[in-house]
């Protein structure tokens, strides 16, 4: 029992939603430690929220309770759900709230694709139950997280087992989201290339991509001098792969590194790179192409 409850949502910091949720949590568990992972997830962007949570939760003690409050409503996201394309939005069964034990941590969220993105292998889920709505809290109309997740989160933080807070749930009922993955290509003109997308843009304008080091290493084979390109850019931009942010004093140009979660970040010294590439917009559909300066040197 860790007595820690974390929150990851798209509620924003100017609204009072997070404060209302915390107020209810503290009424039920005054001694609980509540940690905000982020309330600045882009609205409805589950993939971004999962990235932030997945990059953070391993640093917490086992049995920490993680509440995820990003809904799943956009047409682009619905298109990737494991459901018939002919189904209308209201017929897609995303209304189940679940509590899952995975890698020693508890995760509470709506069954909206979150668990398929969080869990690398669904067979590694240790326990899973469906949560019932607390009718005593049904007067809260703004969002469902309080009547569905409040009491279960508090119970888990106090060491009560999953089987006592809900009904067993079949892993086959988990909604599956299959996001676009990096694509490796090879051509005579460009040599080895990788097409990849954006996972997250931090407060400094650094672009966290969905290109993981495992995938990169398969094609890079030790090469560190690279170029990147995206549609509308004009010319390729040369970049250097470095080991840490300490290289900010060495490289005055754009460079790249792998973060603590293993994903490639594209960085510029003392400037918001996203403003250069994405015109200050958070365009998470933007695709990049990365190639190598030394294509003939492996």
CATH number at residue 69: 3.40.50.10790
Residues 8 and 133 in one domain: yes
Q: What is the mean pLDDT of residues 30-52?
A: 94
Q: Edge-to-edge strand order for the sheet containing 4-9?
A: 33-38, 4-9, 65-69, 105-110, 97-102, 125-131, 167-168
Q: Residue written as tokens 């996972």?
A: 199
pLDDT of residue 107: 98
Please say if the pLDDT value at position 182 is more than 60. Answer: yes
pLDDT of residue 209: 93
Q: How confident is the model at residue 272 (pLDDT cuts 50, 70, 90)?
A: low
Residues 105 and 229 in one domain: no
Residues 213 and 235 in one domain: yes
Is residue 192 included in any domain, yes or no? yes
- Going by the DSSP 8-state scheme, the letter that residue 222 receives in this structure is T
Considering its fold, how many domains does the chain have in total? 2
Q: What are phi and psi of 5, to 5 degrees?
A: -125, 125
pLDDT of residue 189: 80
What DSSP letter does each residue of 249-298 carry, written as one string?
GT--S-EEEE-TTSEEEEE-TTS-HHHHHSTTS--TT-EEEEEETTTT--
pTM of this structure: 0.84
Residues 151 and 276 in one domain: no
Q: What is the pLDDT of residues 200-226, one digit of tens each?
A: 888 888 889 999 999 999 999 889 889
Please say if the pLDDT value at position 84 is more than 90. Answer: no
What's the domain range around 286? Answer: 183-292
Is residue 40 included in any domain, yes or no? yes
pLDDT of residue 92: 46
Q: What is the pLDDT of residues 126-156, one digit of tens each?
A: 999 999 998 887 777 667 888 999 999 999 9
| Tokens at 184, concatenated | 């490796």
Q: How confident is the model at residue 125 (pLDDT cuts 50, 70, 90)?
A: very high
Residues 133 and 20 in one domain: yes
Residues 147 and 230 in one domain: no
Please say if the pLDDT value at position 73 is more than 70. Answer: no
Residues 169 and 187 in one domain: no
End-of-domain residue from the set 151, 173, 195: 173
End-of-domain residue from the set 173, 194, 221: 173
The Cα-based distances of 216 to 5, 163, 179, 193, 292 in angstroms read: 35, 41, 18, 10, 11
Residues 199 and 57 in one domain: no
Q: How confident is the model at residue 270 (pLDDT cuts 50, 70, 90)?
A: low
Is residue 178 included in any domain, yes or no? no
End-of-domain residue from the set 173, 205, 221: 173
Residues 104 and 204 in one domain: no
Is residue 38 included in any domain, yes or no? yes
Averaged pLDDT score across all residues of the chain: 84
Residues 13 and 97 in one domain: yes
- Going by the DSSP 8-state scheme, the letter that residue 46 receives in this structure is H
Residue 249: CATH number of its domain: 2.40.30.90
Query: Are β-strands 255-258 and 237-241 bridged in parallel, bridged antiparallel, or unpaired?
Result: parallel
Residues 153 and 45 in one domain: yes
């Amino acid at each position: 029992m860790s007595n820690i409850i974390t929150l990851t949502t798209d509620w924003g910091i100017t609204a009072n939603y997070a404060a209302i949720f915390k107020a209810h949590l503290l009424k039920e568990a005054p001694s609980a430690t509540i940690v905000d992972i982020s309330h600045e997830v882009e609205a409805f962007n589950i993939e971004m929220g999962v990235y932030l949570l997945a990059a953070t939760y391993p640093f917490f003690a086992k049995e920490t309770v993680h509440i995820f409050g990003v809904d799943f409503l956009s047409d682009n996201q619905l298109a990737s759900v494991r459901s018939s394309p002919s189904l209308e939005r209201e017929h897609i069964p995303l209304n189940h709230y679940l509590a899952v034990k995975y890698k020693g941590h508890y995760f509470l969220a709506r069954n909206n694709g979150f668990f398929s993105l969080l869990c690398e292998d669904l067979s590694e889920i240790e326990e899973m139950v469906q949560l019932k709505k607390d009718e005593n809290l049904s007067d809260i109309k703004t969002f469902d997280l309080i009547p569905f997740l409040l009491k279960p989160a508090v119970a888990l933080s106090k060491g009560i087992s999953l089987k006592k807070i809900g009904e067993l749930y079949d892993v086959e009922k988990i909604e599956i989201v299959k996001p676009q993955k990096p694509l490796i290509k090879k051509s005579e003109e460009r040599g080895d290339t990788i097409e990849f997308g954006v996972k997250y843009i931090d407060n400094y304008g650094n672009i966290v991509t969905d290109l993981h080091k495992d995938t990169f290493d398969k094609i890079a084979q030790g090469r560190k001098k690279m170029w990147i390109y995206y549609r509308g850019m004009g010319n390729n931009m040369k970049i250097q792969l470095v080991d840490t942010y300490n290289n900010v004093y060495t490289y005055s140009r754009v460079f790249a590194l792998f973060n603590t979660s293993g994903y490639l970040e594209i960085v510029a010294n003392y400037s918001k790179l996203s403003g250069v590439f994405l015109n200050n917009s958070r365009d998470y559909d933007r695709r990049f192409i990365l190639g190598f300066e030394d294509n003939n040197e492996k």
